[in-house]
Amino acid sequence: MNELNLSKRLQTVAKYIVKDSIFADIGSDHAYLPCYAILNGLAKGAVAGEITNGPYQSAMNQVKKNQLEEKIVVRKGDGLEVINPGEAQCITIAGMGGSLIAKILEEGKDKLNSAKRLILQPNIHAVHIRKWLLANGWRLIEEEILEEDQKLYEVLVAEKGNPNEPYEGINLEAGLLMGPILLKKKNEVFKKKWHNEAEHWEKIIEKLSLNSDNPENKTKRKELENLLALVKGGLCHE
């Protein structure tokens, strides 16, 4: 992967960048996404944010190599602190856990006032992001699920609006867990992900049942049984 040939998951993120916007890529790593977006005319400018020295230097080198110093600024900092107020109309955060992405959004809420769109690609636990969006007035406008190198990824796209709208007509808990838009599409990758999860949970439940006198086991089993019921309910109308 490089700035000319992005991974499938980052190509999916890139296609939702607001046209002619200045966007901030948080956790930019080698700044492949900002470089790709500028080189392909998807945005007019970008901020590449990194918290650690190695990736920060890699991003600096990548921007310099492509002679994009006038279009992309690389900054070192934690989460959204790399953005100046009113600077970015679009935010991308990719390749992290869902709980960390939600934490970054929560801690940088004051930097989101000028943002028109959030494009978020969690590696795991997208439910944490959906809960944050729902609680903070961001409406999911699109969700994608894709498979790359035998790994499954979700991409969530949100804009300011009625956060309840995507969940109308479906079970809220199932929507938060599985994705309200994905739940309505139910493509083959989606089915694969949740069939695999269901099988995994069933095996754990079976093991926990062998020691049902343990209060912790009982609690954990009940949690997994509830999740399993949500997933089976979501998949039952395939």
pLDDT tens, position by position, 4-42:
679 999 999 999 999 999 999 999 989 999 999 999 999
> Is 182 part of a structural domain of the chain?
no
Q: Give the pLDDT score at 215.
A: 83
Determine contact, residues 25/46, Cβ cutoff 8 Å.
yes
State CA 67 to chain mean position distance: 29
Same domain for 59 and 155? yes
- Report pTM: 0.94
Assign 208 a pLDDT band (cuts: 50, 70, 90). confident
- Mark whether 109 and 211 lie in a shared domain: no
**Listed residues 122, 141, 169: the one ending a domain:** 169
Residue 231 placed within a domain = yes
CB 26 within 8 A of CB 90: no
CATH number of the domain to which 64 belongs: 3.40.50.150
Q: Let me know if residue 89 belongs to a domain.
A: yes
Is 183 inside a domain boundary?
no
Radius of gyration of the chain (CA): 19
Which pLDDT score is estimated for 2?
A: 60
| Average pLDDT rounded to a whole number, residues 179-199 | 96
Confidence of residue 218 (pLDDT cuts 50, 70, 90): confident
Judged by average pLDDT, the poorest of 39-43, 204-208, 223-227 is 204-208
Residues 6+ apart with CB under 8 A from 224: 201, 204, 205, 208
Q: Is residue 71 located within the same domain as residue 144?
A: yes
Residue 146 in this model has a pLDDT that exceeds 80: yes
Confidence check: pLDDT of 3 > 80: no
Beta bridge partners of 144: 155
pLDDT band of 237, cuts 50, 70, 90: low
The reply to whether 119 and 79 lie within a common domain is yes
Same domain for 139 and 62, yes or no, is: yes
Considering the domain architecture, whether residues 51 and 159 belong to the same structural domain is answered as yes
pLDDT band at 98 (very low <50, low <70, confident <90, very high): very high
* Residue 177 counted as domain residue: no
Identify the band that residue 216 occupies on the pLDDT scale cut at 50, 70 and 90. confident
Q: Which residues, at least 6 apart from 126, have a Cβ–Cβ distance to it below 8 Å?
A: 98, 154, 156, 179
**Do residues 154 and 223 both lie within one domain?**
no
Q: Are residues 55 and 134 in the same domain?
A: yes
Domain count, the chain: 2
- Nearest residue to 45 via CA among 81, 78, 20: 20
Residue 2 included in any domain: no
Domain that includes residue 195, residue range: 189-235
Q: Are residues 50 and 82 in the same domain?
A: yes
Q: Is 185 helix (H, G, I), strand (E, B) or coil?
A: helix
Domain boundary among the residues 134, 169, 204 is at 169
Judge whether 179 lies within some domain: no
Question: What counts of helices (H) and strands (E) characterise the chain?
Answer: 9, 7
Instruction: Read off the pLDDT of each residue in 119-138 and give the average, rounded to a whole number.
Output: 97
